[in-house]
């Protein structure tokens, strides 16, 4: 029967040990094991290990590896069960050991998808400009159950979402100052949808936000877009030039009467 001939501490990890055994052909390296496994099975020099006991030691060491890796992964921030499972699989650990560790971590309070979802929603609401839809999709991707997601999202009230959407609209309105009011609102609508805001929040934002648009702002915008259109169609003359300018500026969201005023002002220059 194989017998342990030597146990030495690993140089890079003093919590793990190298086990040497004689399988009938002299001493050779057999396996490495965590200190907790050494203690659990009372491994020592001169101890005989049959095939069954070797398998038991290997399985419990795999559990220990998975547990230590999981604790290290969780030390940086909270994680969902799916995230921890994915991380451990990437470490090429056995499925049975992973399942055992996930149960243990849940029982010890290190894994709790309900608390994770609540904390994630609070963090996203307080530190980002994301809407509820994006937050919901992020939690689904992390494997959190729908019921827990909906429960957590109750913290992110409709009022809070409306106000955040309004603030974002006001902030980004300055970025699109050279656009017509119509195009400005289209761009703000698209921006808010990308960030995860629903239609009711977007409608509130676009109706209640101070977009800084006065008549003079619209005139300045059409001058800016008009100069670009003029450079594009400068080779045209007469009716052809006027038609192309009107088509271009209308597609940019400007009203016909404002376009006519702008073109008239160009002729006077």
Locate the domains of the chain by residue range: 3-107, 112-155, 157-213, 215-268
For 155, phi and psi rounded to 5 degrees? -65, -35
Q: Is the pTM of this model over 0.85?
A: no
One fold for 3-107 and 215-268: yes
pLDDT (mean) for 35-52: 94
Measured CA distances, 11 to 15, 57, 112, 194, 257 (Å) = 10, 21, 36, 51, 82
pLDDT confidence of residue 252: 77
pLDDT at 168 over 60: yes
pLDDT digits (tens, 9 = 90+) for 185-215: 899 999 999 999 999 999 999 988 877 655 5
pLDDT (mean) for 112-129: 95
Strands 16-22 and 27-34: antiparallel
Among the four given CATH numbers 1.10.287, 1.10.3470, 1.10.10, 2.60.40, the one describing domain 157-213:
1.10.10
Rounded Cα–Cα distance for residues 157 and 135 (Å): 13
pLDDT at 73 over 90: yes
pLDDT at 8 over 80: yes
The architecture of the domain spanning 112-155 is: Orthogonal Bundle (1.10)
For 28, phi and psi rounded to 5 degrees? -150, 155
Rounded Cα–Cα distance for residues 82 and 144 (Å): 8
How confident is the prediction for the chain on average, in pLDDT? Answer: 89
**CA proximity to 42, closest of 71, 7, 91, 15:** 7
CATH of domain 215-268: 1.10.10
Pick the more confident residue, 184 or 191.
Answer: 191
- Is 1.10.10.10 the CATH classification of the domain at 3-107? yes
pLDDT digits (tens, 9 = 90+) for 18-42: 999 999 889 999 999 999 999 999 9
pLDDT-derived band at 259 (thresholds 50, 70, 90) equals confident
* Other CB atoms within 10 A of residue 234 CB: 9
Q: Assign 24 to helix, strand or coil.
A: coil
Identify whether the C-beta of residue 20 lies closer than 8 Å to the C-beta of residue 43.
Answer: no
For 131, phi and psi rounded to 5 degrees? -85, 175
């Amino acid at each position: 029967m194989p017998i342990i001939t030597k146990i030495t501490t690993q140089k890079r990890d003093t919590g793990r040990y190298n086990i040497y055994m004689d399988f009938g052909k002299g001493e050779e390296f057999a396996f490495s094991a965590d200190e907790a496994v050494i203690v659990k099975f009372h491994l020592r020099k001169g101890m005989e290990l049959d095939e069954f006991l070797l398998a038991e030691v290997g399985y419990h060491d795999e559990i220990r590896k998975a547990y230590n890796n999981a604790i290290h992964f969780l030390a940086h921030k909270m994680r969902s069960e799916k995230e921890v499972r994915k991380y451990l699989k990437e470490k090429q650990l056995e499925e049975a050991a992973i399942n055992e560790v996930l149960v243990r971590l849940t029982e010890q309070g290190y894994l709790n998808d309900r608390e994770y979802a609540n904390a994630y929603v609070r963090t996203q609401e307080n530190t980002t400009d994301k809407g509820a839809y994006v937050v919901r999709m992020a939690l689904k991707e992390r494997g959190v159950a729908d019921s827990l997601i909906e429960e957590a999202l109750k913290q992110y009230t409709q009022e809070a979402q409306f106000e955040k959407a309004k603030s974002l609209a006001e902030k980004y309105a300055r970025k699109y100052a050279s656009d017509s009011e119509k195009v400005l609102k289209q761009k703000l609508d698209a921006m808010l949808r990308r960030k995860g805001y629903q239609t009711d929040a977007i409608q509130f934002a676009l109706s209640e936000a101070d977009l800084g648009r006065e008549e003079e702002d619209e005139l300045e915008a059409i001058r800016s877009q008009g100069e670009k259109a003029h450079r594009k169609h400068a080779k045209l003359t007469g009716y052809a030039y006027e038609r192309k300018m009107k088509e271009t500026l209308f597609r940019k969201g400007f009203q016909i009467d404002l376009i006519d005023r702008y073109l008239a002002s160009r002729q006077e220059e």
